[in-house]
Amino acid sequence: MRTVSFAKVEDMYARFEDLKKEDVDELDKWVIEQPHLPSVSEMELIQFIHSNYFDMDAAKRTIEAYFTFRTNCKEFFSDKDVLAPALQRTMDVIAISLLPENTEEGYKVLFAKVIDSDASKFSLSAILKLAFVCVDILLWQEGCAEGNVLIIDMNGIHLGHLPKLSIFTLKNFLYYIQEALPIRLKGVHLINVVPFIDRIMMMIKPFLKKELLEMFHIHKREESLYPFVPRRMLSCEYSGNAPTIMALKKQLYDNVIEYRSLILEKESLQKVDETKRIKTRTLSNMFGLF
Protein backbone atom coordinates (compact mmCIF):
# COMPACT_ATOMS: atom_id res chain seq x y z
CA MET A 1 0.00 0.00 0.00
CA ARG A 2 1.32 3.42 -0.96
CA THR A 3 1.50 6.32 1.45
CA VAL A 4 -0.87 9.10 0.46
CA SER A 5 0.79 12.37 -0.48
CA PHE A 6 -0.31 15.98 -0.14
CA ALA A 7 0.72 19.23 -1.75
CA LYS A 8 2.72 21.55 0.52
CA VAL A 9 1.59 25.05 1.40
CA GLU A 10 5.20 26.24 1.19
CA ASP A 11 5.29 25.27 -2.46
CA MET A 12 2.12 27.27 -3.16
CA TYR A 13 3.56 30.44 -1.61
CA ALA A 14 6.77 29.96 -3.60
CA ARG A 15 4.97 29.31 -6.89
CA PHE A 16 2.38 32.11 -6.82
CA GLU A 17 3.84 35.51 -6.03
CA ASP A 18 0.38 37.09 -5.63
CA LEU A 19 -0.46 34.64 -2.84
CA LYS A 20 0.12 36.41 0.49
CA LYS A 21 0.23 34.77 3.92
CA GLU A 22 -1.57 37.76 5.42
CA ASP A 23 -4.50 37.22 3.02
CA VAL A 24 -4.69 33.55 3.99
CA ASP A 25 -4.64 34.51 7.68
CA GLU A 26 -7.37 37.10 7.08
CA LEU A 27 -9.55 34.52 5.33
CA ASP A 28 -8.90 32.03 8.13
CA LYS A 29 -10.07 34.61 10.68
CA TRP A 30 -13.22 35.24 8.63
CA VAL A 31 -14.01 31.49 8.51
CA ILE A 32 -13.61 31.21 12.29
CA GLU A 33 -16.06 34.10 12.71
CA GLN A 34 -18.71 32.16 10.73
CA PRO A 35 -20.00 29.70 13.36
CA HIS A 36 -21.89 27.58 10.83
CA LEU A 37 -18.77 26.76 8.79
CA PRO A 38 -16.47 23.81 9.50
CA SER A 39 -12.75 24.25 10.02
CA VAL A 40 -10.79 24.90 6.81
CA SER A 41 -7.14 23.96 6.33
CA GLU A 42 -4.48 26.39 5.16
CA MET A 43 -4.19 24.58 1.83
CA GLU A 44 -7.94 24.81 1.30
CA LEU A 45 -7.88 28.53 2.10
CA ILE A 46 -5.07 28.95 -0.43
CA GLN A 47 -7.10 27.12 -3.08
CA PHE A 48 -10.16 29.28 -2.49
CA ILE A 49 -8.05 32.43 -2.85
CA HIS A 50 -6.09 31.20 -5.86
CA SER A 51 -9.13 29.87 -7.74
CA ASN A 52 -10.72 33.32 -7.40
CA TYR A 53 -7.61 35.08 -8.72
CA PHE A 54 -6.81 36.49 -5.26
CA ASP A 55 -10.16 38.28 -4.91
CA MET A 56 -10.92 37.90 -1.19
CA ASP A 57 -14.64 38.67 -1.39
CA ALA A 58 -15.05 36.12 -4.16
CA ALA A 59 -13.10 33.57 -2.10
CA LYS A 60 -15.54 34.06 0.79
CA ARG A 61 -18.51 33.51 -1.51
CA THR A 62 -16.93 30.35 -2.87
CA ILE A 63 -16.26 28.99 0.62
CA GLU A 64 -19.88 29.64 1.57
CA ALA A 65 -21.18 27.97 -1.59
CA TYR A 66 -18.72 25.05 -1.37
CA PHE A 67 -19.52 23.87 2.14
CA THR A 68 -23.25 24.63 2.04
CA PHE A 69 -23.73 22.88 -1.26
CA ARG A 70 -21.65 19.84 -0.28
CA THR A 71 -23.60 19.54 2.96
CA ASN A 72 -26.99 19.61 1.28
CA CYS A 73 -26.49 18.03 -2.15
CA LYS A 74 -26.77 14.40 -1.06
CA GLU A 75 -26.69 12.93 -4.55
CA PHE A 76 -23.05 14.02 -5.03
CA PHE A 77 -21.65 14.30 -1.53
CA SER A 78 -23.02 11.49 0.63
CA ASP A 79 -22.28 7.75 0.75
CA LYS A 80 -18.82 8.25 -0.72
CA ASP A 81 -17.29 4.95 0.37
CA VAL A 82 -15.26 4.14 -2.73
CA LEU A 83 -15.25 0.44 -1.83
CA ALA A 84 -19.05 0.27 -1.70
CA PRO A 85 -20.69 -1.63 -4.59
CA ALA A 86 -22.35 1.45 -6.12
CA LEU A 87 -19.09 3.36 -6.65
CA GLN A 88 -17.22 0.19 -7.61
CA ARG A 89 -19.79 -0.40 -10.37
CA THR A 90 -19.42 3.20 -11.48
CA MET A 91 -15.66 2.70 -11.84
CA ASP A 92 -16.48 -0.02 -14.38
CA VAL A 93 -18.75 2.30 -16.37
CA ILE A 94 -16.65 5.47 -16.64
CA ALA A 95 -12.91 5.96 -17.08
CA ILE A 96 -11.68 9.19 -15.50
CA SER A 97 -7.99 9.98 -15.78
CA LEU A 98 -5.49 12.77 -15.35
CA LEU A 99 -3.24 13.18 -18.38
CA PRO A 100 0.42 13.02 -17.30
CA GLU A 101 1.53 16.16 -19.14
CA ASN A 102 0.29 19.72 -18.63
CA THR A 103 -0.55 22.06 -21.49
CA GLU A 104 1.91 24.79 -22.47
CA GLU A 105 -0.09 27.17 -20.26
CA GLY A 106 0.41 24.83 -17.30
CA TYR A 107 -3.18 23.54 -17.31
CA LYS A 108 -3.96 20.08 -15.94
CA VAL A 109 -6.21 17.97 -18.15
CA LEU A 110 -8.85 15.53 -16.93
CA PHE A 111 -10.17 13.02 -19.45
CA ALA A 112 -13.46 11.12 -19.13
CA LYS A 113 -14.98 8.41 -21.29
CA VAL A 114 -17.80 5.88 -20.93
CA ILE A 115 -16.26 2.41 -21.17
CA ASP A 116 -19.45 0.38 -20.71
CA SER A 117 -22.14 1.62 -23.08
CA ASP A 118 -24.95 -0.36 -21.42
CA ALA A 119 -27.35 2.44 -20.50
CA SER A 120 -28.94 0.32 -17.74
CA LYS A 121 -25.66 0.65 -15.80
CA PHE A 122 -25.38 4.41 -16.34
CA SER A 123 -26.11 6.67 -13.36
CA LEU A 124 -25.26 10.33 -13.92
CA SER A 125 -25.33 11.16 -10.21
CA ALA A 126 -23.00 8.26 -9.36
CA ILE A 127 -20.60 9.24 -12.16
CA LEU A 128 -20.49 12.84 -10.96
CA LYS A 129 -20.03 11.69 -7.36
CA LEU A 130 -17.00 9.66 -8.46
CA ALA A 131 -15.72 12.54 -10.60
CA PHE A 132 -15.88 14.97 -7.67
CA VAL A 133 -14.04 12.49 -5.45
CA CYS A 134 -11.30 12.32 -8.10
CA VAL A 135 -11.11 16.11 -8.28
CA ASP A 136 -10.87 16.33 -4.47
CA ILE A 137 -7.93 13.95 -4.47
CA LEU A 138 -6.15 15.84 -7.23
CA LEU A 139 -6.59 19.05 -5.22
CA TRP A 140 -5.10 17.35 -2.16
CA GLN A 141 -2.18 15.98 -4.15
CA GLU A 142 -1.47 18.82 -6.55
CA GLY A 143 -2.58 21.96 -4.70
CA CYS A 144 -3.25 24.91 -7.01
CA ALA A 145 -2.89 24.72 -10.78
CA GLU A 146 -2.70 27.47 -13.39
CA GLY A 147 -5.87 26.05 -14.84
CA ASN A 148 -7.90 22.90 -15.42
CA VAL A 149 -9.33 21.49 -18.63
CA LEU A 150 -11.89 18.71 -19.04
CA ILE A 151 -12.13 16.49 -22.12
CA ILE A 152 -15.16 14.24 -22.51
CA ASP A 153 -15.08 11.59 -25.23
CA MET A 154 -18.73 10.90 -26.09
CA ASN A 155 -17.96 7.72 -28.00
CA GLY A 156 -20.05 4.97 -26.39
CA ILE A 157 -22.93 7.29 -25.49
CA HIS A 158 -26.16 6.63 -27.39
CA LEU A 159 -29.83 7.58 -27.33
CA GLY A 160 -30.44 5.11 -24.53
CA HIS A 161 -28.43 7.39 -22.25
CA LEU A 162 -30.52 10.48 -22.99
CA PRO A 163 -33.35 9.69 -20.53
CA LYS A 164 -30.67 9.18 -17.85
CA LEU A 165 -29.59 12.84 -18.05
CA SER A 166 -31.67 14.28 -15.24
CA ILE A 167 -32.17 18.02 -15.64
CA PHE A 168 -31.95 18.50 -11.86
CA THR A 169 -28.68 16.58 -11.63
CA LEU A 170 -27.23 18.60 -14.51
CA LYS A 171 -28.38 21.82 -12.87
CA ASN A 172 -26.69 20.92 -9.58
CA PHE A 173 -23.54 19.86 -11.41
CA LEU A 174 -23.30 23.14 -13.30
CA TYR A 175 -23.96 25.18 -10.18
CA TYR A 176 -21.15 23.40 -8.31
CA ILE A 177 -18.49 23.79 -10.99
CA GLN A 178 -19.39 27.44 -11.61
CA GLU A 179 -19.90 28.68 -8.05
CA ALA A 180 -18.25 26.34 -5.58
CA LEU A 181 -15.42 24.26 -7.02
CA PRO A 182 -12.05 25.88 -6.10
CA ILE A 183 -10.31 25.44 -9.42
CA ARG A 184 -9.60 27.68 -12.40
CA LEU A 185 -11.66 25.99 -15.10
CA LYS A 186 -10.24 26.90 -18.51
CA GLY A 187 -12.13 24.71 -20.93
CA VAL A 188 -14.61 21.86 -21.47
CA HIS A 189 -14.06 19.93 -24.69
CA LEU A 190 -16.48 17.36 -26.11
CA ILE A 191 -15.00 15.03 -28.72
CA ASN A 192 -16.63 12.33 -30.86
CA VAL A 193 -19.90 14.14 -30.25
CA VAL A 194 -23.19 12.29 -30.60
CA PRO A 195 -25.80 13.29 -33.22
CA PHE A 196 -28.12 14.50 -30.45
CA ILE A 197 -25.52 16.85 -28.90
CA ASP A 198 -27.81 19.82 -29.71
CA ARG A 199 -30.51 18.34 -27.46
CA ILE A 200 -28.02 17.99 -24.61
CA MET A 201 -26.78 21.55 -25.04
CA MET A 202 -30.37 22.81 -25.01
CA MET A 203 -30.84 21.09 -21.65
CA ILE A 204 -27.81 22.67 -20.01
CA LYS A 205 -27.64 26.07 -21.69
CA PRO A 206 -30.11 27.77 -19.31
CA PHE A 207 -27.78 26.96 -16.41
CA LEU A 208 -24.54 28.10 -18.03
CA LYS A 209 -23.07 31.47 -17.24
CA LYS A 210 -21.67 33.32 -20.22
CA GLU A 211 -18.11 32.61 -19.06
CA LEU A 212 -18.63 28.86 -18.95
CA LEU A 213 -20.61 28.78 -22.19
CA GLU A 214 -17.62 30.38 -23.90
CA MET A 215 -15.40 27.61 -22.50
CA PHE A 216 -17.52 24.84 -24.08
CA HIS A 217 -16.01 23.49 -27.28
CA ILE A 218 -17.72 20.86 -29.42
CA HIS A 219 -15.32 19.03 -31.70
CA LYS A 220 -16.83 17.20 -34.64
CA ARG A 221 -13.30 16.40 -35.73
CA GLU A 222 -10.59 15.45 -33.25
CA GLU A 223 -8.08 17.75 -34.95
CA SER A 224 -9.88 20.87 -33.71
CA LEU A 225 -8.99 19.85 -30.15
CA TYR A 226 -5.24 20.04 -30.74
CA PRO A 227 -4.81 23.83 -30.52
CA PHE A 228 -6.11 23.53 -26.95
CA VAL A 229 -4.67 20.14 -25.97
CA PRO A 230 -1.86 18.89 -28.25
CA ARG A 231 -2.23 15.36 -29.59
CA ARG A 232 1.01 14.24 -27.90
CA MET A 233 -0.64 14.74 -24.48
CA LEU A 234 -3.44 12.26 -25.22
CA SER A 235 -3.49 8.53 -24.60
CA CYS A 236 -1.95 6.25 -27.19
CA GLU A 237 -5.45 5.28 -28.41
CA TYR A 238 -5.65 8.84 -29.74
CA SER A 239 -2.15 8.66 -31.26
CA GLY A 240 -0.68 10.47 -28.27
CA ASN A 241 2.29 9.67 -26.05
CA ALA A 242 0.41 9.04 -22.80
CA PRO A 243 -0.35 5.51 -21.50
CA THR A 244 -3.65 3.85 -22.33
CA ILE A 245 -6.91 5.18 -20.95
CA MET A 246 -7.31 2.02 -18.87
CA ALA A 247 -3.82 2.35 -17.39
CA LEU A 248 -4.43 6.01 -16.46
CA LYS A 249 -7.88 5.10 -15.10
CA LYS A 250 -6.36 2.42 -12.88
CA GLN A 251 -3.71 4.82 -11.62
CA LEU A 252 -6.31 7.40 -10.56
CA TYR A 253 -8.80 4.91 -9.14
CA ASP A 254 -6.04 3.19 -7.14
CA ASN A 255 -5.33 6.64 -5.71
CA VAL A 256 -9.01 7.06 -4.86
CA ILE A 257 -8.97 3.86 -2.85
CA GLU A 258 -5.77 4.87 -1.03
CA TYR A 259 -7.51 8.05 0.16
CA ARG A 260 -10.69 6.25 1.27
CA SER A 261 -10.31 7.05 4.97
CA LEU A 262 -9.78 10.76 4.33
CA ILE A 263 -12.70 10.88 1.89
CA LEU A 264 -15.01 9.47 4.56
CA GLU A 265 -13.57 11.73 7.25
CA LYS A 266 -14.12 14.85 5.15
CA GLU A 267 -17.66 13.74 4.33
CA SER A 268 -18.42 13.41 8.03
CA LEU A 269 -16.72 16.56 9.37
CA GLN A 270 -16.83 19.23 6.69
CA LYS A 271 -20.47 20.21 6.96
CA VAL A 272 -22.25 23.45 7.72
CA ASP A 273 -24.40 23.74 10.81
CA GLU A 274 -27.46 25.73 9.74
CA THR A 275 -28.54 26.21 13.35
CA LYS A 276 -25.45 28.41 13.85
CA ARG A 277 -25.71 30.48 10.69
CA ILE A 278 -25.69 34.17 11.61
CA LYS A 279 -27.82 35.35 8.70
CA THR A 280 -30.75 33.06 8.01
CA ARG A 281 -31.00 32.24 4.33
CA THR A 282 -32.96 29.38 2.87
CA LEU A 283 -31.26 27.04 0.46
CA SER A 284 -33.70 28.04 -2.25
CA ASN A 285 -32.70 31.68 -1.79
CA MET A 286 -29.02 30.81 -1.92
CA PHE A 287 -28.96 28.43 -4.82
CA GLY A 288 -32.42 27.89 -6.28
CA LEU A 289 -31.56 24.19 -6.22
CA PHE A 290 -32.71 20.92 -4.71
pLDDT digits (tens, 9 = 90+) for 99-144: 999 999 999 999 999 999 999 999 999 999 999 999 999 999 999 9
Contacts of 223 (CB under 8 A, 6+ apart): none
Binned at pLDDT 50, 70 and 90, residue 153 comes out as: very high
Coil, strand, or helix at residue 274? helix
Query: Are the C-beta atoms of residues 171 and 289 closer than 8 Å to each other?
Result: yes
Percent of the residues in the chain that have a pLDDT greater than 90, as a whole number = 92
What is the distance between the alpha carbons of residues 130 and 76, in angstroms, rounded to a whole number? 8
| Residue range 194-199: mean pLDDT, rounded | 94
pLDDT at 179 over 90: yes
Distances (CA, A) of 101 to 5, 110, 121, 159, 196: 19, 11, 31, 34, 32
Look at residues 204, 225, 102 and name the one whose alpha carbon lies nearest to residue 153: 225
Global pTM? Answer: 0.93
Binned at pLDDT 50, 70 and 90, residue 227 comes out as: very high
Residue 242 Cα to chain centre, angstroms: 22
Q: Which domains does the chain have, with CATH numbers?
A: 1-290 (3.40.525.10)
What is the distance between the alpha carbons of residues 263 and 249, in angstroms, rounded to a whole number? 19
What is the distance between the alpha carbons of residues 173 and 157, in angstroms, rounded to a whole number? 19
> How does the average pLDDT of the chain come out, rounded?
94
CA atoms within 13 A on the CB side of 179: 21
pLDDT of residue 3: 60
185-191 sheet: strands from edge to edge: 94-98, 107-114, 147-153, 185-191, 216-219
Burial label for 53, CB within 10 Å (0-12, 13-18, 19+), is exposed
Binned at pLDDT 50, 70 and 90, residue 178 comes out as: very high
Look at residues 289, 284, 278 and name the one whose alpha carbon lies nearest to residue 33: 278
DSSP E strands: which ranges in the chain?
94-98, 107-114, 147-153, 185-191, 216-219
pLDDT at 290 over 50: no
What would you measure as the largest C-alpha separation in the chain, in angstroms?
55
pLDDT digits (tens, 9 = 90+) for 73-83: 999 999 999 99
DSSP per position, 145-193: -SEEEEEEE-TT--GGGGGG--HHHHHHHHHIIIII--S-EEEEEEES-
pLDDT of residue 229: 97
Question: Which amino acid is residue 166, in one-letter code?
Answer: S
What is the distance between the alpha carbons of residues 134 and 4, in angstroms, rounded to a whole number? 14
Q: Is the dihedral of CA 162, 166, 167, 173 positive or negative?
A: negative
pLDDT of residue 110: 98
